[in-house]
Amino acid sequence: MLAALTPAALAQPSPEKVKMSENPLLQPFKTPHETVPFDLVKNEHYLPALKEAMVLGRKEIDAIAGSTTKPTFENTIVALERAGEMVSRVSSVMFNLNSAETSPDLQKIVREASPLLTEYGNDITLNEKLFARVKAVYDQRAKLKLDGEDRMLLEKTYKSFARNGANLSAADKEKFRAINKELSQLSLQFGENVLNETNEYVLEIRDEKDLAGLPEFAREAAKATAKQKGKEGWVFTLQAPSYVPFMQYADNRDLRKQLFLAYNSRGFHSDKNDNQQIISKLVQLRYDRAKLLGYKTHADFILEESMAGSPEKVKQFLSELVGYAKPVAEKQLLELTRYAKENGFKDEKLERWDYNYFSEKLKKEKYALDNEILKPYFKLENVLEGVFTVANKLYGITFKERKDIPTYNPEVKTFDVFDQDGKFLAVFYGDYFPRTGKRSGAWMNDIQGQRVVNGENVRPHVVNVCNFTRPTETKPSLLTFDEVTTLFHEFGHGLHGMLANSKYESLSGTSVYRDFVELPSQVMENWCYDPEALKLFAKHYQTGEVIPNDLIEKIRASQNFMAGISNLTQLRYGLVDMYWHGNQPNGEKVTDVESKVDSLVNLFPRVPGTAFSTAFSHIFAGGYSAGYYSYKWSEVLDADAFEFFKEKGLSNREVADKFRKNVLEKGGTEKPMELYKKFRGREPSPQAMLRRSGLTM
C-alpha cells in the first residue's frame, strides 16, 4: 500500500508493446477464486502494468490529500489503507516470481521496477498534505470512537509516515529518497549475486570411489543432476538437498572441504558476484537513514517496532543464551572430537567440514538413527497430507487439491482450504523442489492478502516455497527429517496467513512484529516429534508400514543431539546481525566483524577465504536486518506455548481454538505480548525453551 514514482515519470506512461486493455495483470482475474492467471502473465506485462497501476494509485492518493473535507478516520486512514491495491497486486506477483521462478530477463525487470516502487512509496509518505490529514486524525484519536483494530491501524499509519521521513526537512527528505532508492537496488543485487554463486558451482565426480560413504539416495540424486546438466558421472551442487547429504556422509575429506569452501565463500570472491562492498554500502546507508530519522543506529530504528524494544535488550538476550549454550556446546564438541579420533581422525581439531560428517556417524552410533533409515518413511506427499491432518485435528480445516488453478511452474500444487463449517478460507500453493530460477531456503508469501472490503471478507492466497529432495527415476521425493520440520515450519507461517481474519490487510496475517512472526511457524515443528502425529503420515513408501515405535523414540531421544552447537550457530548469526546493524559503521571488513563475534561463540578454527555474511540473505536481501535474533526469541514463545498444548493434550481443540483466535487470526491487530497473554494466560517463560533444547545443565 505505502509503496512511489516522481510526478513527471508518472504523468505519461511510456509507450509499451502491451496494450493496457490486454494486460492480464490489470484485468479481473477470471480464474478460480480470482487467482493469478500465471498461464497468461508474461515478463513483458510487468512494467506496463506497474506503471499504469501507479498512475491509478497516485490519483487515489491525490484525492485523499487534496480533499477539502475535514479529515476523518474513514476518509483518510481507511481510504489510504485501500489506495494502491492494483500496485500491490502487480508487485506481489512480480516479487513472488522473482524469488521462486526468476530468470535474467525478470531480474532485469525487477531492477528497473524496484526504484520506481521505492519512489512511489516515498512520494506517499513524504506528501506533506497527506501527512497533515493523517496527523489531524491521529491528534484526535482520544476523542474518536474506534475499536481496537481501528486504533491499531491509526497508530500504525501515523508511525509509518513518521518512520519514513514525514517529519524531515525538505533537504533531508531528498536525502531520504536517495538512500531508499539505493538500498532497494543494493538488496536486489545482493540476492542475485547469491543466487548466481549458488547456481554456477558444480562438483563433478567421475570416479565412483569418491562417492564412498554416500547413501544410495544421495548417489541417485547426484546421478540425476548430472543427467539434467548434460554431464557424466555424478554432480553435487550448493542446493541444500545436494550439499547437506554430501557433508554428512562423504568419506572423502578433501571433497567435503572443497564443497564447504564453495558454499561458505559465496559472494566473497572479489568478482562480479562479490557482496563485500554491497554489505559496506547497505550497512552505511541503513545507519545514515536511521540517523536522519533521529535514531542512534539502524537496530534502534528497527527494534522500536518489536517485542524486544531495543538493541540493548536483544544483545542481553543473546548474551544470556550464549551463557547457557556455550558450556553445553564445548562439552558436545569434546565428545565429538574424542569419537572422531577413536574412528581414525588424525588432526588435533575438527574443522567445519568434519562436523556434520562425524556428528552424523556419532548420532547413528548413539541412537541407531540417520536419514538413510528415516527417509523411506517421509514421502513428500504423505508428509503434506500429514500436516493437513494435524491442521484439521487442531483447527477443523480441510484441504482439497485442485488442478484448474494456474501456476507459475508445473511442479506447484494448489489446494482449496475450507473451515470446519465448509466455508472457503484460502488458496494454498505448495512449491517444493529446487530449480535454477529459485533462490535457496524456504519461505512463505501472500500472493493475495486477507482483508474486508465492503463487507466481503477477501480470503488470502498463500504460497509455501521450499527446496526439498527431488524424486529420482526410481524413488519419489523422500524427505530428511530436517526437511520434514521445514515443511511443518513453513506451513505454520501458512496457517498464519490462511486463518487471518482482520479488517485491514496491513494488520492481517503475518503483518506482525518480526520477533513474533516466527511463533506460528516454530510451534508447528513440535508436532514432528509427536508419536500420534508421526503415525498419521510417516509410512514406508514401499510397504505402507507405519513408522515403528522404536524409531519414533529414537527421533525424540535424538532431538537435542548437538543442540548446544546448533544453538551457538544460530546465536552466531544473530550476533553478527546485531554487530552490523547495532553499531556505527567504521569500514570494517567482513572477516573482521565475523572474527569478533567468533571469538565469543565459534568453537571451530576460522577458515581462511570464507565468510557467511556475504551470503546472509536474511539480513541483506530479506526483511530480517537487526531481526535475526527473532528466531531464538520466538523459540522462547513457541516452547512455552507448546507446553500449554502438552498440558491439555496435543489435539485439544480448546487450546487450539485459543491459539487460533488470539494468535493466528489476529495478525497485528493488537500488541504481540497482549495476544500471547490472552492465549497463555501469562507472559512466556524461557525455561521451557531451555529444557527442550537441553541447555539446562
At 559, the amino acid letter reads Q
Q: What is the pLDDT of residues 542-576, one digit of tens each?
A: 999 999 999 999 999 999 999 999 999 999 999 99
Give the per-residue SS3 of 331-380.
HHHHHHHHHHHHCCCCCCCCCHHHHHHHHHHHHHHHHCCCHHHHHHHCEH
Whole-Å CA distances, 372 to 102, 296, 328: 33, 51, 28
Q: What is the pLDDT of residues 504-541, one digit of tens each?
A: 999 999 999 999 999 999 999 999 999 999 999 999 99
Q: What is the mean pLDDT of residues 337-341?
A: 97
Verify whether residue 643 is a known catalytic residue. no
Using an 8 Å Cβ cutoff, are 567 and 693 in contact? yes
Give the integer Cα–Cα distance in Å for 574 and 455: 43
Q: What is the pLDDT of residue 262?
A: 98
SS3 state at 435: coil
Which of 488, 507, 242, 237 lies closest to 380, judged by CA? 488
> 11 pLDDT exceeds 60?
no
Confidence of residue 21 (pLDDT cuts 50, 70, 90): low
> 17 pLDDT exceeds 50?
no
> 9 pLDDT exceeds 60?
no
Q: What is the pLDDT of residues 183-193, one digit of tens each?
A: 999 999 999 99
Give the integer Cα–Cα distance in Å for 343 and 347: 12
SS3 state at 447: strand
- What the block records as the C-alpha cell of 454 is 465492503
Q: What is the pLDDT of residues 298-335, one digit of tens each?
A: 999 999 999 999 999 999 999 999 999 999 999 999 99
- What the block records as the C-alpha cell of 109 is 525487470
Q: What is the pLDDT of residue 15?
A: 38
Using an 8 Å Cβ cutoff, are 445 and 463 in contact? yes
Name the CA dihedral angle for 433, 437, 440, 445, rounded to a multiple of 10 degrees.
-80
Q: What is the mean pLDDT of residues 57-69?
A: 97
Q: What domains appear along the chain, each with residue ranges and CATH number?
A: 7-167 (1.10.1370.40), 201-263 (no CATH), 380-514 (3.40.390.10)
> 435 pLDDT exceeds 80?
yes
* pLDDT, the chain, mean: 95
Q: What is the pLDDT of residues 358-375, one digit of tens each?
A: 999 999 999 999 999 999
How much of the chain, in percent, has pLDDT values that exceed 70?
Answer: 97
Confidence of residue 172 (pLDDT cuts 50, 70, 90): very high
In the chain, the N- to C-terminal Cα span, in Å, equals 49
> 151 pLDDT exceeds 60?
yes
10 Å CB burial of residue 15 (0-12, 13-18, 19+) is exposed
Q: What is the pLDDT of residue 434?
A: 96
Confidence of residue 446 (pLDDT cuts 50, 70, 90): very high
Give the integer Cα–Cα distance in Å for 333 and 565: 8
Q: What is the pLDDT of residue 12?
A: 33
Give the integer Cα–Cα distance in Å for 383 and 657: 24
Using an 8 Å Cβ cutoff, are 312 and 330 in contact? no
10 Å CB burial of residue 486 (0-12, 13-18, 19+) is buried
Q: What is the pLDDT of residue 1?
A: 31
Q: What is the pLDDT of residue 22?
A: 86
> 10 pLDDT exceeds 90?
no
CA 575 to chain centre: 19
Q: What is the mean pLDDT of residues 244-248?
A: 97
Exposed e or buried b for every residue in 496-524, given b needs 16+ CB within 10 A? bbbbbbbbbbbbbbbbbbbbbbbbbbbbb
Query: What is the pTM for the complete model shown?
Result: 0.93
> 23 pLDDT exceeds 60?
yes
- What the block records as the C-alpha cell of 548 is 515403528
Using an 8 Å Cβ cutoff, are 31 and 37 in contact? yes
Phi, psi of 458 (to 5 degrees): -75, 115
Rounded CA Rg of the chain: 25
Neighbours of 339 (CB within 10 A): 17
Catalytic residue from among 192, 372, 490, 525: 490
- What the block records as the C-alpha cell of 554 is 529414537
Using an 8 Å Cβ cutoff, are 410 and 466 in contact? no
Using an 8 Å Cβ cutoff, are 684 and 637 in contact? yes
Q: Which residues pair with 414 in a beta bridge?
A: 402, 429
Confidence of residue 696 (pLDDT cuts 50, 70, 90): confident
Give the integer Cα–Cα distance in Å for 128 and 115: 21
Give the integer Cα–Cα distance in Å for 690 and 638: 12
Give the integer Cα–Cα distance in Å for 515 and 317: 12
